[in-house]
Amino acid sequence: MLSRHGTRLLFRKEPAISQPTQELTEVSQVVLPFSFATEAAVRPAVSLYDTVNKGTPLAIIEDDPLATVCSSVTGAVSGERQIQHPLYGVLNCAVIDCVPDMPSPEVPVPLPKALTPDLILQTAETADIIDELDGVPLVLKLHRWQETGCDFLAADGIEIEPYASSAWAVLRDHAEQVLEGLRLAALCIGAPRYHIAVCLSGQRRRSIALRIGKDYLYQTDSYYPKAAPVRYSKHGGRGTVKYGSRVCRIGIQACLALYRALYLGEAHNRCTLTVAGDAVPHPQNVSVPFGTTVQQVLEHCGLIEPPDYLILGEQMTGTAALTSDIPILPGMTCILAFTAAAIKPVTPRTCIGCGRCVQVCHAGLLPFEINRRYRNMHYERLGSLSTHLCDGCNACSYICPCGIDLAAVVREAAATDNTISVDLEEDDDA
Amino acid sequence: MLKAATAPHLRAAQRPTYQSYGMLLCLVPLTAFSCLHYGIRPLLLVLSGILSALVTECICGLFRHGRPTMSDATCTVTGGLIGAMMSPLAPFWVPAIGSAFAIGVVKMPFGGTGRNIFNPAAAGMAFCAVCFPTRLFMYPDPTLTDSLPLLDTSAVITAASPTAQLNSGGTTSYGWLSLLSGDFPGPIGSTGVLILLACALYLFARRSSSPLILVPYLIVCAIGAALFPRASITAVTSVSLELCTGLLLFSGVFLLSDPVTAPRFWLARILYGVIAAILTMILRHYGRFECGEFFAVMLVNSFSPLLDRSCWHLTALLRRKREEVAQI
């Protein structure tokens, strides 16, 4: 179903969302990169056969300490590997054979007398919390928001895409802790208002609202991609934000990690992700230590034979992986495995000009016109169509009845804009 | 072995034929309604248009690609629409020629589906109106006719349509009831007013057509009819006669909403409907033919790309200014 600037996607979160979140504890091996998204010089802090504990830094990066990755398990380093990760590029990784942890009860750490912004920042840094929304260390985001100011902090638990339900699962299991983590983050950056944005059905929403209070739960629009964590209005009344306000987004799992770091002293070394798709026998949400390979997670969900397609991320924006022997790293919240029957290759046809791409584009672009000009090589006329505003939601490609990958064309057009100039008159003369 | 793929990995289930099948489905009750009045002849006229369009598309496809191309069903819709705009008395070769012209001259030389500048059905109808006006605008009287003969129609009692009566400045005796029940002379697909409205709602519901075009079109036509009646009648009578008779409603539902030639941007669609309505009313007042709606559709088709771009630039400019004001 179409709406202005959005389309309603099919609901495919069942049965994963109805299952309890499984904790993957018996992991035989993890693969963790020495560093994460940095160009600084990396000096490994562990060598072959070294024993590492949970939280041990794997490398020393003097220029960029925040890029240091700590071990998510206790075990022994059994090797080093270079991995071509579909999302993070080439990574030098340590292979760690896990030793089963002794089960230890959760011991609350003594709280300081006052939770100051500096203490929260310091905890986010020492706990190595990474926001799952964008894979950026939380301390960096909090520090930036402190400097720029923030009028509203929204925890993004919308999960508007069809399969992913990890944020919903975390909220279902730990709604109070997530809200407390959000409150602490808001306290840290001085945001006067905050809420948790969700796109839940009535029963699920009511059960969470009963636990945390309905004022802290905001139900978003159910159309992709226009579902936004806040609603703007002229005067910024109840439940809305005034136009021009600075709104910041934080992940649900990051809020929970902040709560756990402050109250339980835990480092952020696990994530919850949805494993779904028609090739998965038991779709579910799984909590795994960072570095667990995708193959281990798929096997845990009952998938023995490799699927035809493996998608890291969601249906609309995910990246296809060519191997399942890659580690799960911060920022990954969904793994989809499909058979060839589910993903049928589409043969693009000529645009019939139905205008659906214009209706779903929340950036207000004219994808059909960009496609026409790009195909006709009118590169010099692309600049006036604001191709740079495209945020890659792929809604236009999804809705196009002719199977044209309009989003790819818009991306190519944005890259081509102002770089190629074709003098058509000169060509004609030639 | 895992395969590579690009996002989005699953797509919406709709196919290009979705809109064509919707339109074809709408033509069924319209033709059936006409068949109730005039027998099987209207159905054969519509089928004649469809058959001619299919054959022409096949021939053009053979010339262009070396194989027939009619998989998207748009040529069927074009032929069906031309047949539905004919008078029930028209010879069978008239819709056939109109469809052949629409496909062979207006659609395929420009590159086929999605690349034509003018609506093929409107252009085909305009061609027929210019070439065979006497055969196109001669309608049987529905109150005096049971079933039309298939071939020799010379003995059929004809009647002037309400639009022709208005065009000559005379008065008409058709009230609301006869207009809504379709008891007046007119083209095959345009007399079932209530069915046309139901078709419009159906096409809106399945998103094959946009109310942003039809609603402004009908409103401006109604205002034009109320302000400038073509005969010495009341404003209400003028509005009812103008909206319900001729091809006004039919072209609003089927021709103006053609996805290829209509604008895609919301503001452009509204303006498109308004301009189409103004042109329709001007052609009704000063045009030579009693039904000049297809000329209005063709004229407004030429504005479509310009409307799209200028309206998009205007709204983008306004949005940028609003954002600047909000940031201050």
User: Which of these three, A41, A68, A100, is where a domain ends?
Assistant: A100
Say how many domains are in chain A. Answer: 3
Tens of pLDDT, residues B187-227? 999 989 999 999 999 999 988 888 999 999 999 999 999 99
CB contact under 8 A, A243 and B326: yes
Most confident listed range (A33-42, A185-194, A299-308): A185-194
Interface probe for A, chosen from B6, B10, B74, B313 (most Cβ of A below 10 Å), is B10
Model confidence at A430, in pLDDT bands (50, 70, 90)?
A: very low
Interface probe for B, chosen from A354, A368, A382 (most Cβ of B below 10 Å), is A354
Q: Look up the domain containing A405 and give its range.
A: 356-423
Tens of pLDDT, residues B15-39? 777 888 889 999 999 999 999 988 9
pLDDT above 70 as % of chain A: 90
- CA-to-CA dists, residue A169 to A10, A26, A176, A224, A392, angstroms: 19, 21, 13, 20, 26
Tens of pLDDT, residues B245-291? 889 999 999 999 888 899 988 899 999 999 999 999 999 988 888 88
Residues A207 and A74 in one domain: no
Exposed / middle / buried, residue B25 (Cβ in 10 Å: 0-12, 13-18, 19+): middle
CB contact under 8 A, B8 and A317: yes
Among the partner-chain residues B11, B207, B260, the one whose CB lies closest to the CB of A352 is: B260
Model confidence at A104, in pLDDT bands (50, 70, 90)?
A: low
In a domain, B172, yes or no: yes
Mean pLDDT over B302-311 rounds to 91
Model confidence at A427, in pLDDT bands (50, 70, 90)?
A: very low
- What is the amino acid identity at position A423? D
Query: Contacts of residue B272 in chain A, CB cutoff 8 Å?
Result: none
In a domain, B61, yes or no: yes
Residues A153 and A192 in one domain: yes
Tens of pLDDT, residues A355-414? 889 888 988 888 998 998 888 888 777 878 888 888 889 999 999 988 899 999 999 888
In a domain, B115, yes or no: yes
CA-nearest residue to A351 within chain B is: B114
What was the pLDDT predicted at A171?
93
- Compute the CA torsion angle B116, B117, B120, B123 (nearest 10 deg): -150
pLDDT at A428 over 60: no
- In the predicted model, what is the mean pLDDT of chain B? 88
What CATH number does the domain containing A74 carry?
Answer: 2.40.50.100
Residues A144 and A212 in one domain: yes
Instruction: Give the single-character DSSP code of A327.
Output: B
Query: Min CA distance, A113 vs chain B (Å)?
Result: 39
Ranking A73-77, A174-178, B37-41, B87-91 by mean pLDDT, the lowest is A73-77
User: Which of these three, A69, A100, A131, is where a domain ends?
Assistant: A100
CA-nearest residue to A336 within chain B is: B9
User: Which of these three, A218, A246, A263, is where a domain ends?
Assistant: A263
Query: Contacts of residue B315 in chain A, CB cutoff 8 Å?
Result: 364
In a domain, A172, yes or no: yes
Q: What SS3 class is residue A157?
A: strand
For A247-299, the DSSP string reads EEEEEHHHHHHHHHHHHT-----EEEEEEESTT-SS-EEEEEETTBBHHHHHH
Q: A21 CB near a chain B CB, below 8 Å?
A: no
Among the partner-chain residues B115, B259, B327, the one whose CB lies closest to the CB of A354 is: B259
What was the pLDDT predicted at A429?
42
CA-nearest residue to A364 within chain B is: B316
In a domain, B322, yes or no: no
- Compute the CA torsion angle A160, A161, A166, A172 (nearest 10 deg): 40
pLDDT at B328 over 60: no
Residues A118 and A172 in one domain: yes
Between A305 and A9, name the one with better pLDDT: A9
Residues A243 and A154 in one domain: yes
pLDDT at B166 over 90: no
pLDDT above 70 as % of chain B: 97
CA-nearest residue to B19 within chain A is: A354
Alpha carbons A353 and A368: distance in angstroms, whole number? 7
